[in-house]
Amino acid sequence: MNYRGSVKRVWLAITILLSVASVVVISSPKIFPYSPDSASTIQKIVHHINWRIRFYFAKAVGGVPELSWLEVAQGTWPGQHLRGTWPGSGFITDSMIREGRSLNASVVNPLNDAKGLFDGKELFQTNCAGCHGHDARGGGHAPSLVTSNYSVGASDFALYKMLRDGIPGTAMQSLGLSVRERWEIVAFLRSLSRETDDAHRTIELPHVDVSWDMLKAARNLTDSWLVYSGGLDGWRHSPLREISPLNVSHLKLLWLHQFAGSREDSFEATPLVSSKTIFMTEPPNSVVAINAENGREIWRHTHPLPTDLPVCCGRVNRGVALLGGTLFVGTLDAHMLAIDAASGGVKWEVEVASPKDGFSITVAPLIVKNMVIVGVSGGEFGIRGFLAAYDAATGKEVWRFYTIPGPAEFGSESWKNNAWRSGGGPTWITGSYDPDLDLLYWGVGNPSPNYTSEVRPGDNLFTNSVVALNATTGKRAWHFQFTPHDEHDWDSNQTPVLADLMMDGVSRKVICWANRNGFYYVLDRADGTFLRGAPYVKVTWASGLDVHGRPILTSAAKVTKSGTLTWPWVGGGTNWLPPSFDQTTQTFLVHATEGSSIFTQSDGNEVRRGAGGLYVGSGSSAADVAVNVVKALDAASGALKWQHALPNANPEFSGTYSGILSTEGGVMFTTYAGTIFALEMATGRELWRAGLGGKTQATPISFTLNGAQVVAVTAGQALFLFGL
């Protein structure tokens, strides 16, 4: 039996019958005239059916020999094996029939998006890099593909055919890829052509001059993102309103910058933006300047790192600070660098602490007046944590505040048996600053060792606390401890949100804080007085908070050797991922996690420093599958306004999620499981999503570029810029 002939006859019969029916309808322009700009819904539906029928007919009578019937089906049928929805799916457009164009003119890549490019790069490395090189710049037997014009032609279809058929007379053979895989590689090749187009342009070094007054006003600036949290108050709220619930679904990828780092390293950095230049860190040890208009790298500085660094939780960095024309960055070997923003050259470098003592730096520094404030990591290595301020011009240390008090210092009575020497108290998330009070607010992490607390009796100040310091002197003004004598690794390394709220009819200057321990707090930011507190996730370790904000413990609070089941889980109600605050609606937005863990401890006399200096006492295990939920809380009370459970859109990247960006346009952005989501701020309704093809642990930012609002986000090993 001639199978191919039978299939051909079936297609011919179907298309003839449907063509006769459709011609009756379409042939009368008075009834169904078609114009893409003015057509009604029924006219569009009829048109999209009709041109496909006519295309099938052309194929059935021997036309379109360049495509197989399978490719015809996938090229014209909406959603068939390719992403997209009616009527824009497939890769063949109606212009071939409507305007008589050739295939080279009417075929477009349906996967020319962020995910297609990412997957295409992976496929290229597997199938093509052996000849063309991992950077696609060619080798001894294959040409460079970093070009705008190829020998086979420059159209999408020409590149597709090259991958499908190979090039006769050359070593380029058919690769045996699927239709989808061919288009993904075409997407990657197109990104290379954009790269070479940019390479012919003159590199203009950025001219950056950011004053202290600009940093104080950063939250209200639209064409930049000058501070880790968008402003000194920790809001992460953009004043931009061009992107709204009405048009956010029209967001498209403007460009993608592909980094060359290891997939094992996670991007957690918040980019800074000034003078149309994006400044960010690339893990583990680079600072990069990127042209915001085209995504092209301007310069890069890479800091040499020693081996065997004390890093508990990945080789990460959360960003840079900016003052004048200088960037400031901490490094995994606990140094701080001042880098020229125009050229990437190092102005000065200081050692903040020694890695041999368990220290590293992952935090984005904070500028306060003429000082650079930096914290340290190392809570799992038995450090004595601190904050330090350095003169921005010279690198000279101005002050240092230890988060673990020594003998005779305030709070030293909360430590016994010299446990303060290795008490922990890391400061690895950027704080906030109130210029009117000249107070610096910073969260402090876990006591060391984790879990097994009998070796460190007492409340263990200032761990799991917020400390308010006089920014000029570094002296403690006040503190508030969220979780005294922590046994669950519930760091208070969260971003302090400084707000003015109406409480009991009175306007109060407060700090809002969704803590890892599962409780939401409101404190007076002038003196630290506890004002309100309520759980925002399921909590079993405490029945509530007393009038001073101290937790009222339950039996689930005590960690045992055999294990105690406790909510929230070890990752907490939230972790370090930044929240967002909308002053207009007085709404606090937090990316929360609902889940539980079984916590265990060791005998006190069994707690020893482990490999690499790790100093922990047993650990925990997840008792159930944690659920990621965006929650909108009334900022004054902590009452839930709405919540939205985020779908695990890509299980390969589950467990990776970011903080929240809110905007004056009524749209908020966050990420989870390799996907960026836009939600309506008033209701939590999902408005838009885009797959990013990589781990998502960096919070989006927004700014204007040439007058138009854009959204930038990092995922996997790439930086994405979206716009309308």
On the question of a cis peptide bond just before residue 359, with omega within 30 degrees of 0, the verdict is: no
Catalogue all structural domains in the chain, each as residue range(s) with its CATH number.
3-106 (no CATH), 114-199 (1.10.760.10), 229-723 (2.140.10.10)
Output the pTM of the full model: 0.76
Binning pLDDT at 50, 70 and 90, where does residue 112 land?
low
Work out the mean pLDDT of the chain and round it to a whole number: 85
Q: Which of 179, 229, 177 is nearest to 68 (CA)?
A: 179
- Confidence tier at 36 by pLDDT (50, 70, 90): very low
In the predicted model, what is the mean pLDDT of residues 501-511? 94
CA 472 to CA 524: how far, in whole Å?
21
Question: What is the predicted pLDDT for the residue at 76?
Answer: 60
Please give the single-letter amino acid code of residue 141: H
pLDDT for residue 605: 61
Look at residue 29 in the predicted model and tell me its pLDDT.
41
Residues 6 or more apart from 630 whose CB is under 8 A from it?
Answer: 589, 590, 591, 592, 643, 644, 646, 660, 668, 670, 679, 684
Distances (CA, A) of 336 to 303, 390, 650: 10, 9, 37
pLDDT in tens, 281-318: 999 999 999 999 999 999 999 999 888 888 878 788 99
Residue 649: the pLDDT is 73
Catalytic residue among 119, 233, 434, 489: 489
CA 1 to chain centre: 57
Task: Work out the average pLDDT over 221-234.
Answer: 98
What stretch of H or E contains 642?
A: strand 640-645
Q: Provide mean pLDDT across the span 528-534.
A: 98
d(CA 65, CA 295): 39
Count of Cβ atoms closer than 10 Å to residue 680 Cβ? 17
Q: What is the mean pLDDT of residues 476-501?
A: 97
Helix 3-26 to helix 41-60 angle, to the nearest 10 degrees? 140
Q: d(Cα 526, Cα 547) in Å, to the nearest integer?
A: 18
546 catalytic? Reply is: no
662-671 residue pLDDT tens: 999 999 999 9
Distance (Å, rounded) from C-alpha 301 to C-alpha 317?
14
DSSP SS3 for 536 = coil
Q: What is the per-residue pLDDT across 423-460, written as a single tens digit (0 to 9) for each?
A: 999 999 999 999 999 999 999 999 998 887 888 999 99
Q: What is the pLDDT of residues 630-661, one digit of tens each?
A: 999 999 999 999 999 988 877 778 788 899 99
Is the peptide bond preceding residue 87 cis, with omega within 30 degrees of 0? yes
With beta carbons less than 8 A apart as the criterion, state whether 661 and 699 touch.
yes
Q: Check whether 413 has a pLDDT greater than 80.
A: yes
Least confident of 31-40, 476-485, 558-567, 579-588: 31-40
Contact 695, 223 (CB under 8 A): no
For residue 675, pLDDT over 90 is answered with yes
Handedness of CA 673, 678, 682, 685 (dihedral sign): negative
Select, from the ranges 184-188, 216-220, 654-658, the one with the highest average predicted confidence (pLDDT). 216-220
